[in-house]
């Protein structure tokens, strides 16, 4: 029988709602800081921010938690996991030295070069003049990436060199992303299909999740600006067993080995954003050092076996290698008007009561909401994700869209083509939607 643990989930977004829900569903006692009104339905909530490391450690020690589970990237980059471990707390989250893989795209690219990990050709620049010179090294319009943390919005996949120049100016002259854009990676644009590949690791052993495909662009057909993610599904058909083996051999294992060689302790989730080309070869687009969002919402709903024992084993340095089984799952994100440039807050969301009750195969995870009496209101750009699981991707997507259809949000935005690429690859019919891309 699985032992029940007391777990502190750090964070308050859609990913953390999914993590808290998963831990509670497995029968564990969950605390959350700062949490959210939605997370408070499955956890005890404490009003402590993710950057208040001292108070978070005090809370964990006072409550005698068995595991600190850190959700967002910011506190990891700032060393919260190190601080927790110094206090003797079992912690799931990498050291600050390892979290630099996400905190600095420039440092991540240099790491990949040192350890011969396949990725796109690139130049790192720190001034606009350097950036304009770097553009001359590319035959096609490149990808412009703010090196620091920019909430998933600091990447521009350029359709022209003029667009690339504009993106460089926004980072290096206009400082659109603040310090995160003071250094910029100018990168070759790769062709193929993107895959999000997750492993739980203690720095040596790895437990893999089914591969996920995310939808970063705001609009259907991968149009519009990049976002933090508008939907996801699993498993991603492009990641065949052969591709999976290549990812482990050429990317995951050399990454973990490189981290060990460089003295960067990594206990947590290594999330590799990949491009798989037409021949099935994987290339790293980016590293993340935590569960992705919204990918985590689909992953954590779909799992067919307990997750927490693997998190505990990783935190204690005794993880056994393996693979986690899961149902086909999907999540469709509902965003507020103006997203990603801005967000409209305080707008009522109708239909949540019906969507969140009576089914265990459809769950609504809240990313940016708050509750005022009995009414749910928007409190951020990405408002929520409707997640569903089933025996096939097609049915999971149908259930997610059915759940979304019951919700009403003035000016809400969502993609109508989540999973379309997978259905086409599998030879299945597209989802029949009777509603438009705004609610």
Question: Is residue 270 assigned to a domain?
Answer: yes
161, 209: one domain: no
Domain boundary among 152, 187, 222: 187
259, 279: one domain: yes
Question: Is residue 52 assigned to a domain?
Answer: yes
CATH number at residue 300: 3.30.470.20
Distance of alpha carbon 136 from alpha carbon 360, whole angstroms? 54
435 has pLDDT over 50: no
145, 229: one domain: no
143, 20: one domain: no
pLDDT tier at 235, thresholds 50, 70, 90: very high
246, 322: one domain: yes
Number of independent structural domains in the chain: 3
Distance of alpha carbon 97 from alpha carbon 78, whole angstroms? 9
349 has pLDDT over 80: yes
Question: Is residue 22 assigned to a domain?
Answer: yes
351, 238: one domain: yes
Distance of alpha carbon 190 from alpha carbon 120, whole angstroms? 7
Pick from 414, 127, 101, 92: nearest CA to 288: 101
Question: Is residue 111 assigned to a domain?
Answer: no
Q: Is 175 left (phi over 0), alpha (psi -120 to 50) or beta?
A: left
pLDDT tier at 436, thresholds 50, 70, 90: very low
Backbone φ and ψ of 425, nearest 5°: -65, -35
The pairing of beta strand 155-157 with beta strand 231-234: unpaired
Question: Which domain covers residue 288, as residue numbers?
Answer: 193-426
pLDDT mean over 246-262 = 98
273, 396: one domain: yes
Distance of alpha carbon 337 from alpha carbon 319, whole angstroms? 43
Mean pLDDT of the chain: 93
285, 406: one domain: yes
Pick from 114, 286, 315: nearest CA to 207: 315
CATH number at residue 127: 3.30.1490.20
Question: Is residue 160 assigned to a domain?
Answer: yes
- Could you report the per-residue pLDDT of 99-121, keeping only the tens digit for each? 999 999 999 999 999 999 999 99
Strands (E) across 237-293 are located at: 268-276, 282-288
- Look at residue 296 and give its three-state secondary structure: helix
Pick from 233, 188, 192, 240: nearest CA to 215: 233
- Environment class of 358 (CB within 10 Å of its CB; exposed 0-12, middle 13-18, buried 19+): exposed
pLDDT mean over 231-244 = 95
257, 387: one domain: yes
pLDDT mean over 198-221 = 96
The pairing of beta strand 6-11 with beta strand 29-34: parallel
431 has pLDDT over 80: no
163, 265: one domain: no
Give residue 274's pLDDT: 97
Domain boundary among 143, 165, 187: 187
170, 197: one domain: no
- Could you report the per-residue pLDDT of 4-61, keeping only the tens digit for each? 999 999 999 999 999 999 999 999 999 999 999 999 999 999 999 999 999 999 999 9
332 bridge partner residues: 231, 386
221, 316: one domain: yes
pTM of the full predicted structure? 0.93
Domain boundary among 187, 219, 235: 187
Question: Is residue 110 assigned to a domain?
Answer: no
Question: Is residue 437 assigned to a domain?
Answer: no
- Look at residue 49 and give its three-state secondary structure: coil
DSSP category for residue 250: I
Strands (E) across 180-276 are located at: 184-187, 193-201, 206-208, 213-214, 217-219, 223-226, 231-234, 268-276
Question: Is residue 29 assigned to a domain?
Answer: yes
6 bridge partner residues: 29
């Amino acid at each position: 029988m699985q032992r029940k643990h007391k777990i502190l989930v750090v964070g308050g977004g859609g990913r953390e709602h999914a993590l808290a829900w998963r831990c509670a569903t497995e029968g564990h006692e969950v605390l959350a800081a700062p949490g959210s009104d939605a997370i408070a339905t499955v956890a005890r909530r404490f009003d402590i921010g993710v950057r208040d490391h001292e108070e978070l450690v005090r809370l964990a020690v006072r409550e005698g938690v068995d595991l600190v589970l850190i959700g967002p990237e910011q506190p990891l980059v700032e060393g919260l996991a190190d601080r927790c471990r110094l206090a003797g707390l079992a912690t799931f989250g990498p050291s600050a030295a390892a979290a630099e893989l996400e905190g600095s795209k420039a440092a991540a690219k240099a790491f990949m070069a040192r350890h011969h990990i396949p990725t796109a050709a690139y130049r790192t620049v720190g001034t606009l003049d350097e950036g304009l010179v770097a553009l001359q090294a590319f035959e096609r319009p490149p990808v412009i990436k703010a090196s620091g943390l920019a909430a998933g919005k600091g990447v521009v996949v350029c359709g022209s060199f003029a667009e690339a120049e504009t993106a460089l100016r926004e980072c290096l002259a206009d400082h659109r992303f603040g310090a995160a854009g003071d250094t910029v990676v100018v990168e070759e644009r790769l062709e193929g299909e993107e895959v999000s590949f997750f492993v739980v690791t203690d720095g040596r052993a790895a437990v893999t999740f089914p591969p996920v495909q995310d939808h970063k662009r705001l609009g259907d057909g991968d149009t519009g600006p990049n976002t933090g993610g508008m939907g996801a599904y699993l498993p991603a058909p492009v990641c065949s067993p052969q591709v999976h083996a290549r990812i482990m051999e050429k990317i995951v294992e050399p990454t973990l080995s490189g981290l060990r060689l460089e003295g960067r302790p990594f206990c947590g989730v290594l999330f590799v954003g990949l491009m798989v080309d037409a021949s099935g070869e994987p290339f790293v687009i980016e590293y993340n050092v935590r569960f992705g969002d919204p990918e985590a919402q689909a992953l954590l709903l779909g799992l067919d076996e307990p997750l927490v024992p693997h998190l505990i084993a990783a935190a204690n340095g005794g993880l056994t290698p393996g693979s986690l089984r899961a149902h086909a799952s999907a999540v469709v994100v509902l965003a507020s008007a103006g997203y990603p440039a801005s967000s409209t807050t305080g707008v009522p969301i109708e239909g949540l009561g019906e969507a969140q009750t009576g089914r265990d195969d459809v769950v609504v995870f809240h990313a940016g909401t708050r509750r005022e009496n009995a009414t749910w209101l928007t409190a951020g750009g990405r408002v929520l994700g409707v997640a569903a699981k089933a025996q096939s991707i097609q049915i999971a997507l149908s259930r997610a869209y059915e759940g979304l259809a019951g919700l009403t949000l003035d000016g809400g935005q969502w993609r109508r083509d989540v999973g379309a690429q997978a259905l086409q690859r599998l030879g299945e019919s597209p989802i029949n939607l009777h509603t438009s891309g705004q609610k």
